[in-house]
Chain A
Amino acid sequence: MMPAGSLLAATDLRKAYGPTTALDGAEFSIHPGEVVAVMGPSGSGKSTLLHCLAGIVTPDSGSILYNDREMADMTDAERSALRRSEFGFVFQFGQLVPELTCVENVALPLRLNGISRKEAERAALSWMQRLEVDDLKGKRPGEVSGGQGQRVAVARALVTNPRVLFADEPTGALDSLNGERVMELFTEAARSTNAAVVLVTHEARVAAYSDREIVVRDGRSRDMERIV
């Protein structure tokens, strides 16, 4: 049953990769503006849960409702369009396109939405300013530090003003100082746009930025608030 007012919710999700069960009846829900940390040990199924919620991976069974719409009923093109316009992503290693400059990287999701290069780069620059990386606009990812690159990746995730942000270990490759700065900027920016944030992490100090925590273990999720 979908909790009232939730923007994105999943019930009884199951997913296996060959003989390996990644999700085994996982549940999830998130409200607009809420930051939910998905925690758990390595291999517990947290990233798979995130991929399913984002429509990147199709679960074997279960239901995912986004804005009251069943994701399983959407075509691949519709899910891609959703990811382009309503979702944003931050990955552990940024996954910036090495050939593009930082501003081109940030502008990329807008350009994929058909916005002109100039306009896209103007919007990108404004987000880069908010994330304090506007001085890197002409540099390529190979020329910037890990923390700077991750902030560029956050700007890229936010540039489309997404309603849901998915972050998979966003500080996993950063030192604690850089990691905290990235998290501060990330959550601030998300709250300012009222975006929901699904934050996959195994670090408690990162999870501390969230409003609520869900623990995934052996493919099953448990809401920490309920346990407490």
Chain B
Amino acid sequence: MSGEGGHLPDRAKSRAWGRSRDLGMGVRFAFTGGREGWVRAVLTAVGVGLGVALLLLTAAIPNAMGMRDDREEARHDIGLVFHQENAETKQSDRTVVVANSDTQYQGKEVRGRLMEPEGPRAPVPPGVEKLPAEGEMLVSPALAELLKSDGGKLLVERLPYRVVGTIGESGLIGSRELAYIAGVDGLAKRINGSTVGRIERFGNPEDQPGRSMDPVLLLLVLVVLVVLLMPVGVFIATAVRFGGERRDRRLAALRLVGSDSRMTRRIAAGEALAGSFLGLAFGTLFFLMGRELAASVEVFGISVFPDYLTPTPALALLIAVAIPASAVLVTLFALRGVVIEPLGVVRSTKPARRRLWWRLLLPLGGLALLLPMIGQGADNGPFNEYQVTGGVVLLLVGVTALLPWLVEAVVARMGSGSVAWQLAVRRLQLSSGSAARMVNGIAVAVAGAIALQMLFAGADSAYTEVTGKDVTRANMEVGLPDGSRVSAAVKDFEQTKGVSEALGLSSVSVGDRRKDPESSVGMTVGTCASLREMAKISSCRDGDVFMTESPEDPTALTMVKPGRTLWVEPSYSGEDPGAEIPWTPPGEVKKVAERADSLRPSLSGLLVTRAALPAKVEPLLYSSVYLRLDPSVPDATDRVLNTAAAFDPLTDAWVWESTSRSGEYQSIRTGLFVGSACVLVLIGASLLVSQLEQLRERRKLLSALVAFGTRRRTLSLSVLWQTAIPIALGLVLSSVVGLTLGAVLLRMTNIPVSVDWASVLSMTGIGAGVVCLVTALSLPPLLRMMRPDGLRTE
């Protein structure tokens, strides 16, 4: 007994030792073999590394978003006024008056704050040690850089403050953020509770409850993540198979000296492990390099500081474990169809026919998970995130499972045509798997992108609001601060380079009684020219008053009667007293019709020329200037913003757009673009590396073919067909899967299913374009490899 009991552990120990020895031998083989061996190891490591870097980046996104949010909350200021129970914070030596002076420069947002400390203990925002004195400002490093550059000259004019320091990292949400804090005087008297307020501290006043995301947006986020990460996984799986044929030959040599088939598999696993570990190291290095680089770049308006990009530990650990594990699994899976014999590698000449049934199970399983979610997101609460993610993943993985079968089934039926076609088709018939693997990544990306485009196109209207601004009528609008002289502002804007026309319009309300009027109506004040932008006015002189009628709101019609005294800015009980300025309309109030393309649509009320009103009404007017810009002046917008800032730094100015999008929805679209760009680069790189790897393996054969007179064009065409056939099939399959997924996702959100063929074509076009580009890039190495030098053995 004891003897047996003693042997068993010994045997187990020796087995374990044998296994680890095999793995260790594989690790050594990964790096031996001279230059060839190193090239293969480095190619694998670069391939895996690129994928790992992208995964680490994804794992860092939650942290980066969290950091941005935290920093944004920590510097929260103007909005505090609304949160304070008593909006009237009393002035003390602990208060500061803050005004929002955000602006735009060359289309980029500039965060601006004007501050006036009211005592020595006034709070300071994060990243600032001491508030700037009057006429001074602190700027973000990116803004400092911009102000010093030639491109920042116009902005220097707009910010007439002396730069005395920089805002620290804790006061910024991104490395490239443009921000300034300027010290000004006299803000206190302009407190209005919205853009100018008095605060006692910075930061979020209370822990706001976690806001749950709109189910449709959540669905979009989930699908975007799955779609972007799937090709990365496919790419890594492809990268660990680089140099497979050479490795098989090496394993055959090991069989000759006595390795059994299990040992050879363990050795192969060891090689894969070594490649993946080196890939992890490269990936970490790429990620760290990219992280440092991240500080100097801005993508679609988003920048981060390097320390934001810290992967969540759990996710980083998952990557560190999953990559080597999947590398081993992929290698062992690839060795299934290969019999490594002592005298060479035998690939079953007719590899086991690929079965369709289990490949179909994946997409069908995905659909089965998604179908119960139909209609769930619209009104019936949130989706089950896991079920949706699982369903999308299965559907997209289904593409990678179905594609090899599809390629095999189709190429098996292809006849021989020209020599180039024959070479390509025969190669695909013999090893359609590697060709399918090459295009799997792009097929998944295209399928996902089509589905997303459909979802975005469907959801677009729900998240896009028509602003009602007619951009053919005006390009910009400037809201002047209360009490401004509109005529002076119009003159300033008219003299601004790039402004072709400036029109001032002011408004104020008028009631039928001095106090608590029974009815009141809006009054728009302007010159004859500016009033004509709103209504069809034939004859007009300064002093005239017009009335527009609206069948829905007949107030003006009943209230305005010749000789009747009306009250500008009447008072209401319980509110601050109004100006209560009496005004008697002139004898004739002409009725006019509103223009269909009015500058201020859906207007009803009085249109009044300036001379028809008493002078003391002027300070009460809320005025806007509408601007038409000369499209041939590229920086017209910035010049207008400069004029507006010179008029008053708190002037509101905005560029007219016909539609506006929900911020969250826009961020997801932006995220998709950023991610797609990264994934497309990765897929392109992966295709190129795979292509080169395949060509390298066939260098000798290519040289031999050239030796007996094969035209280079024939071989180049053959390489193109070898990629084009699987890609065409991949794109057909991905279109079908993408459209199916898109339709299901739309049904899930109760959005009518419609196919946006333009996006299907553009997505497949981009996919095909990447392949063409990669083929073009691989042609020079191909031509080099076709040189007869490849026949040399010494």
Task: Tell me the complex Cα distance, A112–B709, Å.
Answer: 8
Task: Tell me the complex Cα distance, A100–B677, Å.
Answer: 39
B788 interface hit (Cβ, 8 Å): yes
Which B residues lie within 8 Å of A142 (CB)?
346-347, 349
Task: Tell me the complex Cα distance, A201–B791, Å.
Answer: 15
Which B residues lie within 8 Å of A17 (CB)?
789, 792
B423 interface hit (Cβ, 8 Å): yes
Name A42's closest neighbour in chain B (CB-CB). B794
B432 to chain A, nearest CB (A): 11
A178 interface hit (Cβ, 8 Å): no
Task: Tell me the complex Cα distance, A127–B518, Å.
Answer: 111
Which A residues lie within 8 Å of B426 (CB)?
97, 99-100, 104
Among the stretches A31-39, A63-71, A88-96, A189-197, the one at the interface with B is A88-96
Which A residues lie within 8 Å of B792 (CB)?
17, 47-48, 51
Among the stretches B386-394, B442-450, B478-486, B700-708, the one at the interface with A is B700-708
B794 touching A89, Cβ below 8 Å: no
In the complex where A80-B709, A84-B709, A97-B705 touch, is A140 in contact with B416 (Cβ < 8 A)?
A: no
Name B788's closest neighbour in chain A (CB-CB). A56
Which B residues lie within 8 Å of A87 (CB)?
708-709
A23 interface hit (Cβ, 8 Å): no
Task: Tell me the complex Cα distance, A85–B711, Å.
Answer: 13
A89 touching B789, Cβ below 8 Å: no
- Determine which of B422, B714, B791, B793 lies in contact with A100 in the assembled complex, contact meaning CB atoms within 8 Å: B422
Task: Tell me the complex Cα distance, A139–B430, Å.
Answer: 12
A222 interface hit (Cβ, 8 Å): no
A84 touching B708, Cβ below 8 Å: yes
A117 touching B416, Cβ below 8 Å: yes
Task: Tell me the complex Cα distance, A95–B708, Å.
Answer: 11
Which A residues lie within 8 Å of B422 (CB)?
100, 104, 111, 117
Task: Tell me the complex Cα distance, A100–B429, Å.
Answer: 10
A112 touching B419, Cβ below 8 Å: yes
A124 interface hit (Cβ, 8 Å): no
How many residues of chain A get a CB closer than 8 Å to chain B's CBs? 38
Task: Tell me the complex Cα distance, A157–B708, Å.
Answer: 9
- Determine which of A47, A85, A98, A156 lies in contact with B791 in the assembled complex, contact meaning CB atoms within 8 Å: A47
Name B705's closest neighbour in chain A (CB-CB). A97
B789 touching A57, Cβ below 8 Å: yes
Task: Tell me the complex Cα distance, A84–B349, Å.
Answer: 30
Name B794's closest neighbour in chain A (CB-CB). A43
B249 interface hit (Cβ, 8 Å): no
Cβ < 8 Å to B, chain A residues 194-215: none
Task: Tell me the complex Cα distance, A47–B700, Å.
Answer: 14
B708 touching A89, Cβ below 8 Å: yes
Name B345's closest neighbour in chain A (CB-CB). A142
Cβ < 8 Å to A, chain B residues 412-429: 416, 419, 422-423, 426-427, 429
Besides A47-B794, A80-B710, 8 other A-B contacts (C-beta < 8 A): A51-B791, A57-B789, A95-B700, A95-B701, A97-B705, A98-B701, A109-B709, A140-B430
* 26 intermolecular pairs with C-beta atoms under 8 Å apart: A17-B792, A42-B794, A47-B792, A51-B791, A56-B791, A57-B789, A80-B710, A82-B709, A84-B708, A84-B710, A89-B708, A91-B707, A91-B791, A93-B700, A95-B700, A97-B426, A100-B426, A104-B426, A108-B710, A111-B419, A111-B422, A112-B419, A112-B708, A112-B710, A117-B416, A142-B346
Complex A-B, nearest 6 residue pairs according to Cβ-Cβ distance, in ascending order: A84-B709, A95-B704, A56-B788, A99-B426, A83-B709, A99-B427
Please give the residue numbers on chain B whose beta carbons come within 8 Å of chain A beta carbons, in ascending order.
Answer: 346-347, 349, 416, 419, 422-423, 426-427, 429-431, 700-701, 704-711, 714, 788-789, 791-794
Please give the residue numbers on chain A whose beta carbons come within 8 Å of chain B beta carbons, in ascending order.
Answer: 17, 42-43, 47-48, 51, 54, 56-57, 80-85, 87-89, 91, 93, 95, 97-100, 104, 108-109, 111-112, 117, 139-140, 142-143, 156-157, 168
